[in-house]
Amino acid sequence: MSKAQEVLKEIEQGRILPVYVLFGSESYWRQAIIQRLRQQLVAKEWEDLNFARFDQDDPEVFHLTRTPLFGGSKRLMVLEDSQLLGGSNRGQQGRMEAIRQSLLAYLERPAPDCCLVFNCLVDKADRRLKVAKRLAKEGFLVECNPPSTGEAVAWSVALAREAGKRLDREAAAYIVEGNSRRLQDIKNEVEKLVLFVGDGKRIGLEEAKEAGAARSAVIFDLTESLTAQQSHKAVSSVQFLLRQGEPPALIVFMLARQFRLLWAAKAEGPRSKELSYLPRFVVERLVKAAHHASWRYLENAFAIMVELDYTIKTGRGEPARALELAVLRLSAAAQRP
């Protein structure tokens, strides 16, 4: 099994495999791999004939890989929303098993001038499947999951370098933290900062704070308001995020992560491994907030967050309203001895 970052480097170097099966929760990696393959394999003047997307798994694709090519280009075929690695309903299981068997047969003699990509929208591959085992063994299985904080920081620094800027690691960590390691959001933030500094060559923490990542700053303010028992300020922070168009589910995710960081700060202090990639001023704020939060409060907070997450995901309440009520409960919990 390969990692998305490794595969992108290999494609850039011209080492292209006949089959790629993508899975994992980071859509940025998926689209980057498909786009890079398209650039490397398919001549622009022949794209209409030698590049094809399928909305789902189609058994006809194996026959099409053997049809004559047009021009001096190679062929790229992408099967979107593939169920190859699992996720199909009962009615499709027989059909999917036939496609898996066809793929196993195809792997014995893949078409030399065609690259086949299965874009599987599952976070994990069903490793019990025979086809998954074979794909992993051959290196055709590609994991497209979010990077670690350290990897995301290095990636954002490299993005800025490509644009001719030097992004300080502390500023990069601030951007990564503010965008919850979502690569497309990080990329957008770096591109915005490149424009923001203009002719300047260096992007420091102050520039990053001044130009954006407002979501992260508000989440910090929200957490501090809760631990300081300032319910009115906490609700105002949530309402600000909602007015900015932030999805309630994303706010819940980021708030839950803040509580995990608070727990780490309270348990191990500023040297906690969990906090090691955060900017110094962020760690200082977390440690200060953790000092005001009791263990009982943090336990209650996790329970409230789990309940809120369940409410939103199951549609048992209007998300924005459920979030505001949960924030009031979190603030009330901080007032209990």
Q: Considering the chain, tell me which residue range(s) the CATH 1.20.272.10 domain(s) occupy.
A: 214-334
Q: Considering the chain, tell me which residue range(s) the CATH 1.10.8.60 domain(s) occupy.
A: 149-211
Task: Report, as an integer, the average pLDDT of 4-8.
Answer: 93
Q: What is each CA distance from 110 to 52, 63, 104, in whole angstroms?
A: 17, 11, 10
Whether 337 shows a pLDDT value over 70: the answer reads no
Q: Considering the chain, tell me which residue range(s) the CATH 3.40.50.300 domain(s) occupy.
A: 2-143
Instruction: Dig out the tokens for 206 from the structure.
Output: 């102050």
CATH number for the domain whose boundaries are 149-211: 1.10.8.60
Instruction: Dig out the tokens for 34 from the structure.
Output: 């498909």
Residues 292 and 262: their CA atoms lie apart, in Å, by 10
DSSP E strands: which ranges in the chain?
A: 2-3, 19-23, 51-54, 75-82, 114-120, 141-143, 166-167, 202-203
Task: Report, as an integer, the average pLDDT of 285-309.
Answer: 89
Architecture of domain 214-334: Up-down Bundle (1.20)
Task: Report, as an integer, the average pLDDT of 123-132.
Answer: 88
Confidence of residue 111 (pLDDT cuts 50, 70, 90): very high
Query: Which of 113, 140, 104, 105 minimizes the C-alpha distance to 1?
Result: 140
Confidence of residue 35 (pLDDT cuts 50, 70, 90): very high
Mean pLDDT of the chain: 87
Architecture of domain 2-143: 3-Layer(aba) Sandwich (3.40)
Question: Collapsing DSSP states into helix, strand and coil, what is residue 131?
Answer: helix
Q: What is the percentage of the chain residues whose pLDDT exceeds 90?
A: 39
Residues 12 and 74: their CA atoms lie apart, in Å, by 16
DSSP assignment of 233-277, as one string? HHHHHHHHHHHTT--HHHHHHHHHHHHHHHHHHHHHGGG-GGGTT
Whether 262 shows a pLDDT value over 80: the answer reads yes
CB 192 within 8 A of CB 156: no
pLDDT digits (tens, 9 = 90+) for 151-203: 888 999 999 999 999 999 888 888 887 777 788 888 988 988 888 888 889 99
CB 176 within 8 A of CB 193: no
Query: Which pairing describes strands 19-23 and 141-143: parallel, antiparallel, or unpaired?
Result: parallel
pTM of the model: 0.67
Query: Which residue's structure tokens are 């390969």?
Result: 2
Residues 85 and 23: their CA atoms lie apart, in Å, by 8
Strand order in the sheet with 2-3: 2-3, 141-143, 19-23, 114-120, 75-82, 51-54
Q: Own/partner pairs for 122-130, CB < 8 Å, 24+ apart?
A: 122/23, 122/85, 122/86, 122/87, 123/23, 123/24, 123/25, 124/23, 125/21, 125/23, 125/85, 125/86, 126/85, 126/86, 129/85, 129/86, 129/100, 130/100, 130/104
